Amino acid sequence: MSRMTTVCDETPPPNNGAAWAGSRMAVSTGLKAAGTVNLRVLFATPEVFPLAKTGGLADVSAALPATLAGLGADMRLVMPGYAEALDRARNKGKPIPLGDLVGLGNARVIPARPPDTDLPLWLVDCPSLYRRSGGLYLDPQGQDWPDNAKRFALFCHAVTRIAPGAIGWRPDVVHLNDWHLGLVPALLAAQPGPRPASVLTIHNLAFQGVFPAEIFPRLGLPSGWFTADGVEFYGGVSFLKAGIRFADRLTTVSPRYAREILTPEFGCGLDGLLRARADDLVGILNGIDYDSWTPENPAPLQC
């Protein structure tokens, strides 16, 4: 299994201490036992190997939850219900309706299992957005899907609906990955009362999910958040900026990268915000799945 770790601490994000207080005791308690992780974690990602993959994020999304589950965490995976993911998932159960998510479309959750583990998997099914030919993010001509903002806004709203326990299970921590999940910390922060803690992992800062300003009214965020201090980014909307601004904790793929993205050279226009959140940012070196990447199993090394 992968040798990976996750770090949380207890300082509330700006202007959001009351909401964080409801989950910090569970988080800190869950990390006390040496060698164990007694937490309920919802791991939200746009891709998981072998269900759907474009890059290394899918490998991390497969290996890290399995490793944490092996340490005692109660893990759940949630990802979009792409056609290939639905085809490859096993033990699919009865769909759970989520309804129309802020006018973005009717969605439901299909419980399942990945083909290679017993981790609970939730597929967010919205056929008009996810069941199509082409890539996960690109159309058959290699261009961004023109409705990517809508596709991943709906996914974010689905995760936000699931996180407080809408389908019968409530996590202590929601672990979010890359810009595709960037709206979730903002949506959670807008909810009154206790909520799960949020951790956003930045795998590649260059991909930020930036869309035209006219999409903002459809995102279900408070109108006052379209500002430089909110989700506005050079006249548009940045999903990743929303996540960086509102997540309780931020992680990235190595200590060096965590330092680099604080600089104008590598900060991709977000270095100022990242410096403001520097106390909440930690770099954790990516692990390796020794079950797959081993000389005893040469298949991944074949050309």
Query: Model confidence at 23, in pLDDT bands (50, 70, 90)?
Result: very low
What count of other Cβ atoms lies within 10 Å of the Cβ of residue 268? 15
Task: Check whether 7 has a pLDDT greater than 90.
Answer: no
Q: pTM score, two decimals?
A: 0.86
Tokens 């040496």: give the residue.
34
Instruction: Map 121-181 to HEC letters.
Output: EEEEECHHHHCCCCCCCECCCCCECCCHHHHHHHHHHHHHHHCCCCCCCCCCEEEEECHHH
Radius of gyration of the chain (CA): 18
**Largest Cα–Cα separation, the chain:** 56
Domain spans of the chain? 38-292
Read off the pLDDT of residues 139-172 as tens digits, 9 standing for 90 and up: 999 999 999 999 999 999 999 999 999 999 999 9
Distance CA(102)–CA(83), nearest Å, equals 23
CB 222 within 8 A of CB 246: no
Distance CA(198)–CA(175), nearest Å, equals 6
Between 160 and 105, the more confident residue is: 160
**For residue 282, what are the β-bridge partners?**
251
Query: Model confidence at 294, in pLDDT bands (50, 70, 90)?
Result: confident
Quick one: pLDDT at residue 37? 66
Read off the pLDDT of residues 190-199 as tens digits, 9 standing for 90 and up: 888 889 999 9
Return the structure tokens found at 192: 């009154």
| 255-262 contacts, C-beta under 8 A, 24 or more apart | 255/282, 255/283, 255/284, 255/285, 256/283, 257/283, 258/282, 258/283, 259/283, 261/202, 261/205
Return the structure tokens found at 73: 């965490």
User: What are the start-end ranges of the H helices in the chain?
Assistant: 17-30, 56-70, 83-88, 127-130, 148-162, 183-189, 239-246, 255-260, 271-276
The phi and psi torsions of 8 (rounded to 5 degrees) equal -135, 150
Query: Is the CATH number of domain 38-292 3.40.1280.10?
Result: no
SS3 40: strand
